[in-house]
């Protein structure tokens, strides 16, 4: 049986698609011990696997629970890489601050977006749930993210998304803002002055990539 680098990277890729946290962690650790280039492990195995997950979701052959399990397996591998990535000159795809708006305690969708963004190579700062507008503003200034993402899962908390965008702009922060969540629409995003809208986690990754490539 051959044991080429491509075979081993494929095994990490498959571990993510098989939702196997332990295998993903073990295989990534083995590649580090072999001295395999970090970017190959990150781009050709972990990120590639999450891109495949996004494609399958778009085709309707994979659903949110499976996406969440795949993202957890990816994160298990990523946690092994993280200390080494921070020691090197490896630049992240960008920095993104995310959070669920004030008075909204839902976090499954936000967590999935965060894990998939990490899987795509972004540095993610997660503010959690029930985040007041002022906390988003403070995080924007403290972390200077490329993108700030907000989610709302209740129609009753959508006004807090509007308040947060308004406060960010009033405070002079002109970075990119993306929004999402079950009741949020593209029309609402445009109305409140957000720069983009994503209907799901793969869409949020694609949007973040477009926003950061645009500089």
User: Which residue intervals of the chain bear CATH 3.40.50.280?
Assistant: 95-213
Q: What is the DSSP letter of 101?
A: B
- For residue 90, the model assigns a pLDDT of 67
What was the pLDDT predicted at 1? 44
Structure-token pair, residue 93: 């795809």
CATH tag for 5-87 (out of 3.40.50.300, 1.10.1240.10, 3.40.50.1360, 3.40.50.970): 1.10.1240.10
Going by C-alpha positions, the residue among 204, 181, 20, 209 that lies closest to residue 101 is: 181
- Residues of each domain in the chain carrying CATH 1.10.1240.10: 5-87
User: CB neighbours (10 Å) of residue 147?
Assistant: 24
Burial class (CB in 10 A: 0-12, 13-18, 19+), 102: buried
The ranges of the chain with pLDDT < 70 are: 1-2, 88-90, 214-215
CA angle 95, 129, 121 (to 5 degrees): 25
Determine the Cα–Cα distance for residues 130 and 117; give it in Å rounded to an integer: 21
The predicted model scores a pTM of: 0.80
What CATH class has 95-213? alpha beta
In 18-155, which ranges are continuous DSSP H helix? 21-34, 38-39, 48-58, 64-87, 108-119, 133-143
Q: What are 177-191's pLDDT values in tens digits?
A: 999 999 999 999 999
């Amino acid at each position: 049986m051959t044991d080429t680098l491509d075979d081993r990277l494929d095994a990490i890729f498959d571990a993510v698609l098989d939702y196997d946290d332990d295998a993903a962690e073990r295989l990534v650790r083995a590649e580090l011990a072999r001295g395999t280039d970090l970017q190959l492990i990150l781009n050709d195995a972990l990120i590639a696997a999450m891109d495949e997950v996004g494609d399958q979701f778009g085709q309707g052959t994979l659903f949110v629970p499976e996406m969440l399990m795949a993202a957890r397996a990816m994160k298990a591998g990523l946690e092994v890489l993280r200390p080494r990535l921070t020691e090197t000159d490896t630049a992240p795809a960008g920095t993104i601050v995310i959070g669920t708006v004030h008075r909204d305690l839902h976090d499954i969708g936000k967590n999935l977006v965060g894990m998939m963004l990490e899987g795509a190579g972004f540095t993610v700062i997660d503010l959690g749930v029930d985040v007041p507008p002022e906390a988003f503003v403070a995080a924007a200034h403290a972390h200077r993210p490329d993108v700030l993402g907000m989610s709302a899962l209740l129609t009753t908390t959508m006004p807090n998304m509007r308040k947060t965008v308004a406060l960010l702009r009033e405070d002079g922060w002109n970075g990119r803002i993306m929004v999402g969540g079950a009741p949020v629409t593209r029309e609402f995003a445009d109305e409140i002055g957000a720069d983009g809208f994503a209907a799901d986690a793969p869409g949020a990754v694609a949007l973040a990539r477009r926003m950061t490539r645009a500089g």
